Amino acid sequence: MRAVSALILVFCAGVAWAQSEDGEVVAAKGELARVQGLVSAGLLPPASLAKAEEGVADARDSSILRHAPNGSELDVSQADDMVGAAKRRVERRQRALDAAAKLVEAGAASQNSVRALADDLDEAKREVELAESRAQLIHELSEMADAEGSALDRLAREAAPTDDPGGPAAFATYAKVEVAFREHFGKAMPISAMGQTAVHRSMGFDHRGRVDVALNPDQPEGEWLVEYLKQHHIPYFAFTQAVKGKATGAHIHIGPMSTRLIVAE
């Protein structure tokens, strides 16, 4: 009678879970409930519960991997959860393989009994590699987005007054250039002048909405920057040396040519 009651409970629980949970998880929970009923009825040893509980945990991790969003829809937290789930599945399969190997060593099982477990372990390891690869990409995309946001904030703070020609849109473009430079060279772009400066004012130039980068266009970093600006159709002027009345030294001017200041009479 106790065994029959346990089986009834298993059926009812399975119906309730099926309405909201992943099918694999539902099946694993159903098996756990069945084992619990049989253990309670004295038909299975208590040690059987551990394997059934591990089955539920494995099904949940499998569900995480199976239902993870694709592409850029995956966020950093989900990516980390996915890697954690994949690694836990490897750990479980490694434990199962180790236990089977001990039985083989003791002569209680044949070598063939571990082959399927070894294949499962290899497949789980491939899942980890794939999960880690996806997670790395998501983290890199997140870091790039953060870097672009930080660069834009910094440029906005350091830019000339709000009446700068081009306004925030112009400096948003410069922020993207700086992020690209940082991604390529692993360091900040050496900006020497952002917007109007005392030097430009003394030379009679309106440098608002422009940025100067302290790089020689003939050097590797300068060559890369010039090529990037060309490819993205961003106006620039490159100076390889000081030019009287125009440039105090080698640099790359990003933005339209600076106009002459109009001096009030």
Query: Over its length of 265 residues, how does the chain's per-residue pLDDT go in tens digits?
Result: 443 343 334 334 443 434 356 788 999 999 999 999 998 999 999 988 999 999 999 999 999 998 888 765 778 889 899 999 999 999 999 999 998 899 888 888 888 878 999 999 999 999 999 999 888 878 776 776 666 566 656 555 554 444 444 455 566 678 788 888 888 888 888 888 776 676 666 766 776 778 889 999 999 999 999 999 999 999 888 888 876 656 667 899 888 776 554 443 3
Contact 185, 221 (CB under 8 A): yes
Q: Please report how the helices 115-158 and 76-105 are oriented relative to each other, as an axis angle in degrees rounded to 10.
A: 160
pTM of the model: 0.51
Q: In this predicted structure, what is the pLDDT of residue 174?
A: 80
Q: In this predicted structure, what is the pLDDT of residue 260?
A: 59
Q: In this predicted structure, what is the pLDDT of residue 123?
A: 93
Amino acid at 86: A
The C-alpha atoms of residue 47 and residue 54 are separated, in whole angstroms, by 12
Burial class (CB within 10 angstroms; exposed 0-12, middle 13-18, buried 19+) of 46: exposed
The C-alpha atoms of residue 264 and residue 6 are separated, in whole angstroms, by 95
Q: In this predicted structure, what is the pLDDT of residue 162?
A: 43
Q: In this predicted structure, what is the pLDDT of residue 156?
A: 55
DSSP result, 124-162: HHHHHHHHHHHHHHHHHHHHHHHHHHHHHHHHHHHSS-T
Q: Which of 22, 23, 25, 43 is nearest to 34 (CA)?
A: 43
DSSP 195: S
Give the helix ranges, DSSP H, for 67-209: 76-105, 115-158, 167-185, 198-202
